[in-house]
Copies of this chain bind each other. A is one copy, B any other.
Amino acid sequence: MIIVMKHDASGALVDAVKEKLIAMDMRTNISRGTNRIVVGAIGDVQYVDIKVLEALPGVESVVRVAKPHKIVARESHSGDTIVNVGGVEIGGNTVQVIAGPCSVETQEQMDSAAQAVVAAGCRLMRGGAFKPRTSPYSFQGLGVEGLELFQNAARKQGLPIVSELMDVRMLDAFLEHKVDVIQIGTRNMQNFDLLKEVGGIQTPVILKRGMSATIAEWLMSAEYIAARGNHNIIFCERGVRSFETAYRNVLDVTAIPVLKRETHLPVIVDPSHAGGKAWMVPALSRAAVAAGADGLLVEMHPTPAEAWCDADQALSPDELNDLMAELKGIAQVIGRTL
């Protein structure tokens, strides 16, 4: 059961709700988000009198949520949550395409990538400064310096940025460098300490699906973030592991309608990491938008053949342009804009 309170309810009002719940033999979890405060009640809710709780000052609604994911469940919030990233809305009527290179390499590369992102009509940029590489001997990203190069390039174009955080100890650097959206990668979907940390701030989070995570587990990982107060969560489907070897991962397009039913939060898709080949990206992108995705996370490099990592999966600026035109058409068919 959750008790939704007005976002400006005072601490005293929240405490009063908490105490009432404790008196009813419940354990509680307080999650202070920017738009609402959610008090979770854990325990045997069978005998709890909802009316008593509804009558408490500051309380907006009391909802019995059957699902184990409480705050992120559609049951707990019937409308679609829109995550605002520096004025760009994710989860609203407009489909957002977040484009950029796999990894930050040089200032020149980032500048030219940022220009291409804007030229294609995208409103957000991606780029990795810390790279999760299978081998310890592969390029591991430029680190903090990469964040700087990235911001230099993006600010000139007025683009909010998305970058992956792997280590809790780097969170301060991400905040200092004003990373607009923190990406939690596939390999960290169940790095619970990292989830708790990004739950403690209000920066929007893109939560990528684990390599073979069930949708139920993925929702619970989002709940880890939400339980600490950060409700600005964006799910990102990026393909799951299968027996097939003709491509990298199988893009789980069914996860899109399933998630849209299970949660009020936005759902985007990464077609680049799913397929692993640039020539697959247009078809997968069209499929994702047609299935109802709220956005895409697409790899684009000014000169793909020279990319320092995942060279064969990045689109060129021209290919991104062409893709945007197609996606605009698909979005219109289902009553959305791009």
Contact = CB atoms under 8 A, between A and B. Distances in A.
Which residue, of A166, A167, A245, has the highest number of chain B Cβ atoms within 10 A?
A: A167
A134 B214 CA distance: 11
A136 B240 CA distance: 24
A133 B15 CA distance: 27
A24 interface: no
Which residue, of A27, A42, A254, A332, has the highest number of chain B Cβ atoms within 10 A?
A: A254
Interface residues of A, number: 73
Interface in A268-304: 274-275, 279-280, 283-284, 286-292
Contact of A287 (B133, B245, B247, B253): B253
Contacts of A256: 283, 287
Interface stretch (A91-99, A121-129, A147-155, A187-195): A187-195
Given A190-B132, A216-B246, A287 B291 contact: yes
A146 to B, nearest CB: 16
A30 B223 CA distance: 41
Interface string A228-268: 10000000000011111111001111111110010000000
Interface of A: 27, 29, 40, 42, 68, 70, 132-137, 166-169, 187-188, 190-193, 196, 210-217, 220, 223-224, 227-228, 240-247, 250-258, 261, 274-275, 279-280, 283-284, 286-292, 326, 329-330, 332-334
